[in-house]
Amino acid sequence: MSEFIPVLTKEEIATRVEEVAQAISSEYRDRDLILIGILKGAFIFLSDLVRHLSIPVQVDFMCASSYGSSTSSSGRVKLTKDVDLEIKNKDVIIVEDIVDTGITLSYLIKHLKSSGAASVRVCALIDKKERRETEVTVDYACHAVEKGFLVGYGLDYAEFYRNLPEVYHLKL
């Protein structure tokens, strides 16, 4: 039997999302900000985050995959959807569900910089630290954990559990 151990309640998520949105709003005042959500995992986090921003913002999406249906990374990243907006000379923030090895993120950062973005920062719901393999900075994180496979609030296991309103550690 799999076990779901609570990690973040609805209230904790809401509080942190609002705090992060406030930090972004004050740091990006008077700049041309584009938030880029990484599909599919970031769709819920991004939708809550943008509604708490108090500055003008454009939203776009990218889709990258490095995982199959298992809980460990394949180590390869495939970009299956690029941004549609013109990002040249724009300040962009990548919005990720979770940063694990950092392989996906470092690939996406390189890609956006080579597309001419003026700056690229990272905002993640969860910064999972133990398996980091590349040096990436998570500029804004709602929550940090050492390890464990998390589901809920956009995070999936084999495409399930994204709809859970809280975040859980899934013990298989």
Q: Could you list the active site residues?
A: 100
**Is 4 a binder of ligand IMP (CB under 6 A)?**
no
> Which one of 149, 162, 164, 166 is in contact with ligand IMP (CB under 6 A)?
149
| Closer of 41 and 152 to Mg ion (Cβ) | 41
CA distance 135 to 105: 10
Q: Which of 55, 56, 49 is CA-nearest to residue 19?
A: 49
CA distance 153 to 164: 6
Interaction residues for ligand IMP, span 57-116 (CB under 6 A): 66-67, 73, 96-105
Rounded to 5 degrees, φ, ψ at 18 are -65, -40
Q: Which of 100, 98, 96, 97 is CA-nearest to residue 109?
A: 96
Give the nearest distance from C-beta 129 to ligand IMP in angstroms.
11
**Is 150 a binder of ligand IMP (CB under 6 A)?**
yes
**Is 41 a binder of Mg ion (CB under 5 A)?**
yes
Q: Quick check: 170 and 150 in contact, CB under 8 A?
A: yes
CA distance 14 to 83: 27
**Is 154 a binder of Mg ion (CB under 5 A)?**
no
**Is 43 a binder of ligand IMP (CB under 6 A)?**
no
Q: Which residues bind Mg ion (CB under 5 A)?
A: 41
Q: Which residues bind ligand IMP (CB under 6 A)?
A: 41, 66-67, 73, 96-105, 128, 149-151, 155-156
